[in-house]
């Protein structure tokens, strides 16, 4: 990227930044006596390393405070997470998922397009997790790219990280451990890797998500949950 292209990209990024006191996620939908905040989780999950400007990202330092705001705000009765992510930073994604799982406000997630890799814990962290008819999830083990120093220690770290992710998914979904591990080590779906690509109906049938649903169906269910919580 040359100087002019970099300046143009930075200008676009600045133009898309919210004004002071606003956030791009703060969209409260009112109606039928309940208020629903919609939080998108899109693009690549960005952790400690800043990704290049053209990349669509969800930054954990932006999302975590927004979750605190939604939990504490008297104006929010429930939270809808719209998920379309390719995955990304594992620890940042798991931190977001733990925050979502710890909320007391009613929550629903809807995977649109894809909820891949670390996007799976983010989806199942909500009280109810749904997928669109055309959406997919990619289940695969934790991976690392580039030069690896201290191979035994790195392998041990990856193994323990995989165990943390697997434990979280199993605790927040109805999928059986043996079924999840079969998806994790599948060989038929990935050309140069192991893992499985699941359609919405496959994920629902396995218990990984609660069902296949449209946006309107998920919103109606979340409003019902919020009404019951308020009542």
Is 117 designated active site?
Answer: yes
Q: Is 140 a catalytic residue?
A: yes
Catalytic member of 109, 116, 140, 221: 140
> What tokens were used for 50?
């800043």
Exactly one of 117, 173, 196, 206 is catalytic; which is it?
A: 117
Q: How far is CA 12 from the centre of its chain?
A: 25
Residue pair 140/114 in contact by the 8 Å Cβ criterion:
no
Q: Give the pair of three-digit tokens for residue 146.
A: 């580039």
Taking each helix axis from N to C end, the angle separating 60-72 and 90-101, rounded to the nearest 10 degrees, works out to: 0
Q: Cβ distance 28 to 35 under 8 Å? A: yes
* Helix residue ranges per DSSP H, 60-192: 60-72, 90-101, 119-124, 151-171, 177-184
User: Dihedral sign, CA of 167, 83, 104, 211?
Assistant: negative
Burial of 48 per CB tally in 10 Å (0-12, 13-18, 19+): exposed
Q: Which residues are catalytic?
A: 117, 140
């Amino acid at each position: 990227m040359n100087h002019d292209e970099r300046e143009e990209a930075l200008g676009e990024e600045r133009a898309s930044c919210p004004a002071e006191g606003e956030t791009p996620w703060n969209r409260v939908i009112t109606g039928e006596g309940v208020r629903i905040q919609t939080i998108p989780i899109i693009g690549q999950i960005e952790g400690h390393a800043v990704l290049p400007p053209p990349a669509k990202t969800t930054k954990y330092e932006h999302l975590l405070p927004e979750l605190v705001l939604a939990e504490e705000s008297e104006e929010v009765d429930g939270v809808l997470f719209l998920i379309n992510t390719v995955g990304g930073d594992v620890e940042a994604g798991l931190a977001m998922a733990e925050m979502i799982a710890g909320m007391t406000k009613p929550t629903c997630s809807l995977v649109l397009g894809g909820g891949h890799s670390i996007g799976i814990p983010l989806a199942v962290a909500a009280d109810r997790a749904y997928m669109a008819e055309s959406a997919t999830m990619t289940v695969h083990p934790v991976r690392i790219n580039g030069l690896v120093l201290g191979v035994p220690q790195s392998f041990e770290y990856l193994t323990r990280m995989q165990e943390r992710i697997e434990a979280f998914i199993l605790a927040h979904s109805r999928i059986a451990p043996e079924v999840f591990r079969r998806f994790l080590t599948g060989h038929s779906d990935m050309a140069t890797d192991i893992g499985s690509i699941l359609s919405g109906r496959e994920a629902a049938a396995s218990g990984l998500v609660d069902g296949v649903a449209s946006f309107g169906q998920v919103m109606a269910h979340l409003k019902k949950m919020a009404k019951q919580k308020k009542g």
